[in-house]
Amino acid sequence: MEHSRYDYSPITDREPLRFPNGARIAVWVIPNIEHFHFDKPSTSIAPFTMSMVPDVLNYAWRDYGVRVGIWRIIDVLERHGIRATVALNSDVCIHYPPIIDATRALGWEHMGHGRNNSELIHHQSESDERALIEDVLQTIEQATGERPKGWLSPMLTESLNTPDLLAEAGVEYLADWANDEQPYYFNVRQNTLLSVPYSIEINDISVFLDNRGTAEDFQTRIVDQFDALYEDGKVSGRVMAIGLHPFLIGHGFRCKYLDRALAHIRSRKDVWFATGGEISDWYRESNPDPKNGKLA
C-alpha cells in the first residue's frame, strides 16, 4: 500500500530555508528518558537472555540510565549551555520524579514518547490509541506544567491513525519520520502537524547496538554529519538531530566523546541550538501550511 501523509518534495527544488539570525543549521539534542517493564523484553545488549522472565541482565543494564546516565548527560549539556528536548515516557513522571524536577529546572522541553518503552504504538484500536495519547499528554503536563508540543513514539512505532490522533490532541510536531533535513507538514484530518527531523543514524542506539561502534565512532559520526550539514546550510538551512539514550551514552567511557563532539559544534558560528518546539514554532510562523493540514 501507499500512503498520503505528505507530498514528495526533493530538497533541491525547495525555496532556501533561512533560520533566525542567519544560522546555517539548527541542532536539537534529544535525550530519550524511558521506563521499562520488568517482565517484558526491550532494547538489549545481551540477546541470549531476552526471552527470560525476568531478564535481569538487560533490565538492569537499561535501569542504569535513570539512576546514573541521565545525570552525566545533564552535566555535559549544561557545560555547553544546551537546552535539550526530552523524549519522555510519561511513566517516568510517576517512577522517577527527581528527573522531572531536574529537567524542569534546566528549562528543557518535554515531548511525548508514549507511556513506556515496553508498550509500542501500532496495534491499538483508534479509540484505545486516542486514550493512550491523551493520558500521556495529561500526565506530562501535570508533572512539568506544560502540555507537550511534540511527540516521538516509542521505537518510532505508529498505527495508521497516529498522525491524525496526535494532531487532534493538539500536538504540533512529530519526529517519527526520519526522512528529511528540513521540516514539512503532514496531511492530517484536522488541525496541522509538522515533521521536525529526527535521526536514526545520528543516534547512540544505531552506533553502539546496531553497528557495535565505539564512543569515538559516535563522536566522528556527529562531527562529520554536522560538518556536511553546516556546509549545505550555506545554501539552505538544515536541521540536525542528536538522539541520546542515558543507558548508552551516559556511561563515563562514552560520554566524554559526546562532550568533544558538542565542543566542535560550539566552535562554529551561525549555529542555532534549539528545542524541537522552537524549530516547530519558527517554521510554522515563517512557512504556514499551504493545505492547512487537510488530507488530500
Predicted pLDDT at 292: 66
Judge whether 273 lies within some domain: yes
- pTM exceeds 0.85, yes or no: yes
Judge whether 29 lies within some domain: yes
Judge whether 296 lies within some domain: no
Judge whether 1 lies within some domain: no
> The domain that contains 246 carries what CATH number?
3.20.20.370
Predicted pLDDT at 148: 98
Predicted pLDDT at 296: 46
Predicted pLDDT at 294: 56
Domain that holds residue 264: 11-286
Judge whether 294 lies within some domain: no
Residue 7 vs residues 10, 130, 157, 295: alpha-carbon distances, Å: 10, 25, 21, 11
Q: For the chain of 296 residues, list the mean pLDDT of each consecutive stretch of 10.
A: 94 97 98 96 87 92 98 98 98 98 98 97 96 98 98 98 98 98 97 98 97 97 98 98 98 98 98 98 93 58
Say which amino acid occupies 130. Answer: R
Judge whether 293 lies within some domain: no
Q: How many domains does the chain have?
A: 1
Judge whether 6 lies within some domain: no
Judge whether 98 lies within some domain: yes
